[in-house]
Structures are given as structure tokens and as C-alpha cells.
Amino acid sequence: MTLRPFSDHRRGLLISIDGPSGAGKSTLVHHLAQLLVAAGEDVHITAEPSTGPIGVLARQLTETVTGHALACLYAADRYHHVETEIRPHLELGKAVISDRYVPSGLVMQRFDGLDPAFLWALNAEATRPDLCVILEADPDIIARRLVERGAHNRFQLAPGSSHAEAHFYRQATERFDVLRVDCGTRPPERLAEVIRDRLTAFFAAPAIETSA
């Protein structure tokens, strides 16, 4: 299958991949990138927290800073990430795939008891992805994957965290136009194909507009 080349577009395409810790985001991002590159696209992989100064700080401080301060730090990293990395790559016409983006900011800070409305407001100005993917599965399956892989921080160590994350993702994205992908029973290669196929459909509509 051939995708319509991104170079036909005035700007690139932002694809975000979110979902509970251990669901398979990082694994999927790499498979999706491989598929898009094989289809001739120019791909940039990135992640949040970013590798920039605010992202590094957010990662470092996640164990000791909580609540509003940590939410602001992650949001600050997101705006800086968009400005210094995501937007420049979009302007070069690339497909930018972000391993975590706004949905993670709407979900993870709920573990510290923050009001969803505050988190929405904090993230309201972030560039909207062209395709926002949310991985979903039975929380018990995700919990097992997380245990096998190992927790990276206090959020992932909280008892029942996979169930809480799945619930928070549902709440956070019920008003969003998102692509929900069941990652519980299919291998990452197959999930990447599902997203690639969705992108192919996505290109069909703009193709008419841009050639007009």
C-alpha cells in the first residue's frame, strides 16, 4: 500500500500515541515509523517528557514534586517541545510521531488529585494532533505487561494504577476525536498497520482540497 506523500502537503502530520503505562506505546511508535518510512514518508519520532531542559527536569522531579507544580512543569515541557522540536519538523513536511502528548497530561496528573478542568485549561493551547491514538486493553493485561517491563516512577507503582489510568483515559478522551486501538490481543506490527491504514484514509480527503 502506498501512502500519499507528505510532501504534497503544506505541512507535515502530527500523530500522538497515548495510553496506559506498559500498554505498548513505545513499541508501537517504532513499528509505525518503520511502516511509514517503508511507504516513503519522512518520519520524526519524539516523546514526552521531551529530551529538552524542561522535560529532563519534569522526569527528574516526578518523584518529589506533585500536583499543580508538576502539571505545570509537564505542560511547560509540552509547549517548549512543540515550539522547538515538533513544529519545526512539521514545517519541514515530516510525519511527527509523539510517544505521549496532551492526553498523558490530562491523565497522569489525575493521580495527584487534580481537577480535569484545570488540566484541560493548562493544555488548551497545545497544537492539536492530526491523529490522536489511544491504546486501550483490559487493565489486567496492561498491568501484567507493566510488571514484566518494570515501573518507571511512582505513578506506575501505585496499586491498581493500570485500572485507574484506563478509567482516566476514558474520561479524558470521551469528548475528543480519537482513534481507539485495542492493544490487548494483537501484536504491535498489526496495530501499526491499523494506524497506517487510518492515515491512508486521512490522506484521501485533503488530497481533493489541496489539488483544487
Ligand X SMILES: Nc1ncnc2c1ncn2[C@@H]1O[C@H](COP(=O)(O)OP(=O)(O)O)[C@@H](O)[C@H]1O
Site of interaction with ligand X (CB under 6 A): 21-27, 145, 148-149, 183, 186-188, 191
Q: Looking at 20-28, 35-43, 130-138, 160-168, which segment touches ligand TYD (CB under 6 A)?
A: 20-28
Q: Measure the CA–CA gap between 201 and 212, rounded to whole angstroms.
A: 18
3-state secondary structure of 96: strand
74 part of the interface to ligand TYD, by CB under 6 A: yes
Decide which of ligand X, ligand TYD, none touches 187; Cβ closer than 5 to 8 Å per partner kind: ligand X
Question: What single-letter amino acid sits at 124?
Answer: A
| Alpha-carbon span 201 to 210, nearest angstrom | 15
Residue 104 contacts ligand TYD per CB under 6 A: yes
The residue (of 24 and 105) whose beta carbon lies closer to ligand X is: 24
- CA–CA distance, 32 with 148 (Å, rounded to integer): 23
- Eight-class DSSP state of 50: -
Binding partner of residue 46 among ligand X, ligand TYD, none, CB cut-off 5 to 8 Å per kind: none
Closest CA to 78 of 50, 51, 120: 50
Tell me if 105 contacts ligand TYD by CB under 6 A.
yes
Q: How far is the CB of 199 from ligand TYD (least distance, A)?
A: 22
Query: What is the edge-to-edge ordering of all strands in the sheet holding 95-99?
Result: 43-47, 95-99, 13-18, 131-136, 179-182
Our finding on whether 49 is near ligand TYD (CB under 6 A) is: yes
Which residues contact ligand TYD (rule: CB under 6 A)? Answer: 21, 25-26, 48-49, 74, 100, 104-105, 108-109, 152-153, 155-156
